[in-house]
Amino acid sequence: MDAQYDIVVSGGGPAGLTAAAAFGAAGFRVICLDPAPPVTERDADGSDLRTTALLQPARNLLERCGLWPRLAPHATPLQTMRIIDAGGDTPQPRVTRDFVASDISDQPFGWNLPNWLLRRELAAQLAELPTVEFRPGTGTRSLFTRTGEARVGLSDGSRLRARLVVAADGRDSPMRTAAGIGVRRMTYGQKALAFAVTHSVPHDNVSTEIHRSGGPFTLVPLPDYQGRPSSAVVWLDHGRKVLERAQLDAPAFEAEMTERSCGVLGPLALASRRTVWPIISQHAEQMAGERLALMAEAAHVMPPIGAQGLNMSLADLAGLLDLAEAAPQDLGDAGMLERYHRKRMRDVRMRVTGIDALNRASIAGAQPLRDLRAMGLGALHALPPVRQGLMRMGLGLT
């Protein structure tokens, strides 16, 4: 007989692990599945060297689920978001504007953690929850639904039954595909390099996004590494250039990235291996199907601008968790999932569209377009109500 759960979570990335922990803490019987075990060491093959800035609403959710005490000791607060336009003839700052958390709150904008460390701590939390089973090495393959339940086929040939399936299984989600839910996708010809660096100038908890052409170069604060200030870097550019840079020897790469950073933190030294990630925008045509809720990259994918990725995923989770806790007897039924779709779809479309526009502006290579971008940055920052409104919107507080 098929094993029975309240919730099957498909996907063991940060979003899926958080969903399993949240629903487990709320008293639901949960199983979380992923075809690959999580890589939980910084320098192990396959580790995710990107970082996530957990914004204020995300931290509130993590506190509610009992996760934040485990993550807080590893988190670096982000007090200032600095945007630099370096789109002149030479790679030098020509417009620098700071967006400061104290303008709108007594808390930092967010708290930065490496993705590999998030996986480590979240997996450890699941191991302590009696209501949750985490089964890495087993993926979801098929989905059959009817009014009262879902049946999920697994890669090991077994099947599960559940009242709700939560698809947090990536941009090529097998559960979304099985449900026949389509996606709308935009491509840019970009890729991203993600890696860690050390530098001579302290970052002072400032996240710095530098725009020139091809895409932003972003430095996000990390704890000191081997006694030196350290930051995570995400560097977007045209795909061919990214692949070429990924093959450079360390001295040549360090010289190129230091120039691209405009030297704002002094000479940069590579402090990890380099990983390459494709850049697209994508959102599902609906957030739910019969007995199925989409979240995270199964529902939306965006370029890494403005720390929206995992924070939008946790906004999905918060909305779904609210509905499940308000009426647990209705878990996974058509009414609950329709409310979830309505609650999240407008915000998803708005943010995907907004990040798409920002990324296209950051790609601009023609000088007149670079000049227009710099003028726009200065104008938006100069008006306090507009500046504060943008910050609140970015945090998901409006």
Which pLDDT score is estimated for 351? 87
Flag whether pLDDT at 74 surpasses 60.
yes
Flag whether pLDDT at 364 surpasses 80.
no
**Residue 25 maps to a domain:** yes
What DSSP designation does 11 have?
-
SS3 246: helix
22 Cβ partners below 8 Å, 6+ apart?
Answer: 61, 64, 65, 67, 317, 321
**Residue 205 maps to a domain:** no
Structure tokens at 51: 């970082």
Nearest Cα to Cα of residue 393 among 362, 338, 353 = 353
The pLDDT-based confidence of 385 (bands split at 50, 70, 90) is low
The pLDDT-based confidence of 386 (bands split at 50, 70, 90) is very low
Q: How far apart are CA 6 and CA 28, in angstroms?
A: 6
* C-alpha 192 chain-centroid distance: 14
Q: How many domains does the chain have?
A: 1
SS3 284: strand
Which pLDDT score is estimated for 26? 96
With beta carbons less than 8 A apart as the criterion, state whether 40 and 116 touch: yes
**Residue 223 maps to a domain:** no
Nearest Cα to Cα of residue 298 among 30, 16, 100 = 16
Tell me: the pLDDT tens digits for 270-293?
999 999 999 999 999 999 999 999
Range of the domain at 146: 3-52+115-185+281-360
What DSSP designation does 275 have?
E
- Please provide the average confidence, as pLDDT, over all residues in the chain: 89
Which pLDDT score is estimated for 381? 58
The pTM (predicted TM-score) of the whole model is 0.89
Tell me: the pLDDT tens digits for 326-363?
999 999 999 999 999 999 999 999 888 888 888 887 77
* C-alpha 120 chain-centroid distance: 16
Lowest mean pLDDT among 100-104, 136-140, 288-292: 100-104
Flag whether pLDDT at 379 surpasses 60.
no
Structure tokens at 156: 């090991």
**Residue 346 maps to a domain:** yes
Tell me: the pLDDT tens digits for 162-182?
999 999 999 999 999 999 999
Residues pairing with 77 in the sheet: 111
Amino acid at 191: K
**Residue 228 maps to a domain:** no
**Residue 292 maps to a domain:** yes
Structure tokens at 391: 């910050």
Flag whether pLDDT at 255 surpasses 60.
yes
Averaged pLDDT for residues 193-213: 93
Flag whether pLDDT at 235 surpasses 90.
yes
* C-alpha 175 chain-centroid distance: 20
Tell me: the pLDDT tens digits for 14-73?
999 999 999 999 999 999 999 988 888 888 888 887 888 888 889 999 999 999 999 999
The pLDDT-based confidence of 305 (bands split at 50, 70, 90) is confident
**Residue 222 maps to a domain:** no
Question: Residue 149's domain is classified under what CATH number?
Answer: 3.50.50.60
Number of Cβ within a 10 Å radius of residue 231: 25
Amino acid at 44: A
Which pLDDT score is estimated for 95? 84
50 Cβ partners below 8 Å, 6+ apart?
Answer: 114, 115, 194, 232, 234, 275, 277, 304
With beta carbons less than 8 A apart as the criterion, state whether 111 and 54 touch: yes
Averaged pLDDT for residues 142-162: 94
SS3 330: helix
DSSP state string for 186-239: EEEEEEEEEEEEEESS--TTEEEEEESSSS-EEEEEEEEETTEEEEEEEEEEEH
**Residue 61 maps to a domain:** no
Q: How far apart are CA 103 and CA 276, in angstroms?
A: 35
